[in-house]
Amino acid sequence: MTFFIIFSSLLFIIYIYTGFRLIPALLKKRAGQWCWVILILSFVSLILHLYLRVNFIYFHISQILALIGYTSLGLVSTLFCLSFFRDLLIIPIITILKIKEFFIKSKKISLFNPLKRNFLFKASGYSIVALSSCTTFFGYFRALQKPKVVKIDIRLNQNHKNLKGFKIVQFTDLHVGPTITYDYVKQACDIISRLNADIIVFTGDLADGSPRDLAHDISPLKGLDAPLGKYFVTGNHEYYSGAKKWIHQARILGFEPLINEHRVIKYKKGLLTLAGVTDIRAEAFFKNHRSSPKKAIQGCPEKSFKLLCAHQPTSIYSASRAGFDLQMSGHTHGGQYFPFNYFIQMEHPFVKGLYQYQKTQLYVSQGTGYWGPPLRIGTFPEITLFEFI
């Protein structure tokens, strides 16, 4: 509850700051009042949905609250970032001009008299609103489009050449919940099925809610099939919603959960060690779920190709030490939408795409679904097809 209060307070500051910096300057009194009403109702919708979500309370109306709240959050967060950036630029400019006005009584600085400053402030405000509205509109439809298939070739060395032609489908961060429902899941499953991979792996964050409430929405996943199996690892959101229940649900859907363990897969004359770990922060919820790539790989055939499924890219450090050849991850959503696709690099050095860390390759998917605001700007929903060459 403490986290909920802090998070809600931060959101309140963002909404209020955005309103005060844009509404009075751009709208007349009556229109401004209506805008404040809409802004406050959007905030209340978001907070009410989050409160119900945190307390595992579900009503049909929660989907409506989530759609209103999350969409408004996408727009408001973009408005906030652009407004805040503008204000950061304005403060030093105004300060310098005030100093000049104090020491130099000159008409040369009349360009920045109150009337012209007001005009520039309004013009920048309209630009911020126009840019934010356009990007939100674009991002909304981008987030809801069908996932794109990204083809990644993994070049094998001589020791693993017998695995040539082996195909893996990775999907991740589906986040089934209030705004991602049955139709989207079915669409993603149809795409995965057409790829005819040898194995299917899911790398965490399946849903935001309980298996009981989302049973219908996730049901298409049961129809997925691969000759050599389909596998599941936990992400951080499984632990928010009850990880043990979701691990059990994964089994019902036909997935084999990998909880710091591995399976040896034979393909032609080659061997693949497929390992999976719990989310890197799982220990905070269950002591026996401490993420351990080293434990996951113990006892595997030494000469096999070693693949790790780990939700968060930061598992790469321990994965590399453990001797993995490749790690598949998600979690970052590629930043999901502007400007957070730039900010995320401050916390995560691996955001999207293929990386080489020491002797281990790392692939970070942009995610098949989205979390929070139904927006994608600068990213797209992804299903990844790996082929060993």
Task: Output the pLDDT for position 340.
Answer: 77
Question: Would you say 372 and 378 are in contact if contact means Cβ atoms under 8 Å apart?
Answer: no
**DSSP 3-state of 200:** strand
What residue has token string 């965490």?
A: 204
14-26 burial, b at 16+ Cβ within 10 Å, e below that, comes to: bbebbbebbbeeb
Task: Output the pLDDT for position 274.
Answer: 98
Task: Output the pLDDT for position 364.
Answer: 98
Terminal C-alpha separation, the chain? 50
pTM of the model: 0.87
Question: Would you say 175 and 217 are in contact if contact means Cβ atoms under 8 Å apart?
Answer: no
Closest residue by Cα to residue 74 from 352, 333, 382 = 333
User: What are the 10-residue block averages of pLDDT along the chain, 389 residues in total?
Assistant: 81 93 83 90 89 70 82 91 89 75 60 70 88 90 93 94 96 93 97 98 94 93 97 95 94 97 95 97 93 95 96 97 97 87 81 96 97 90 97
Task: Output the pLDDT for position 3.
Answer: 72
Closest residue by Cα to residue 246 from 192, 286, 193, 196 = 286
Task: Output the pLDDT for position 125.
Answer: 87
Cα dihedral 280→284→288→290 (10° resolution): 20
Helix, strand, coil percentages in the chain from 3-state DSSP, rounded to 5: 55, 15, 30
Closest residue by Cα to residue 276 from 163, 168, 155 = 168
**DSSP 3-state of 265:** strand
Q: Angle at which helices 29-54 and 2-26 pack, to 10 degrees? A: 170
Task: Output the pLDDT for position 112.
Answer: 58
Task: Output the pLDDT for position 257.
Answer: 98
Domains and CATH numbers, the chain: 2-143 (no CATH), 148-388 (3.60.21.10)
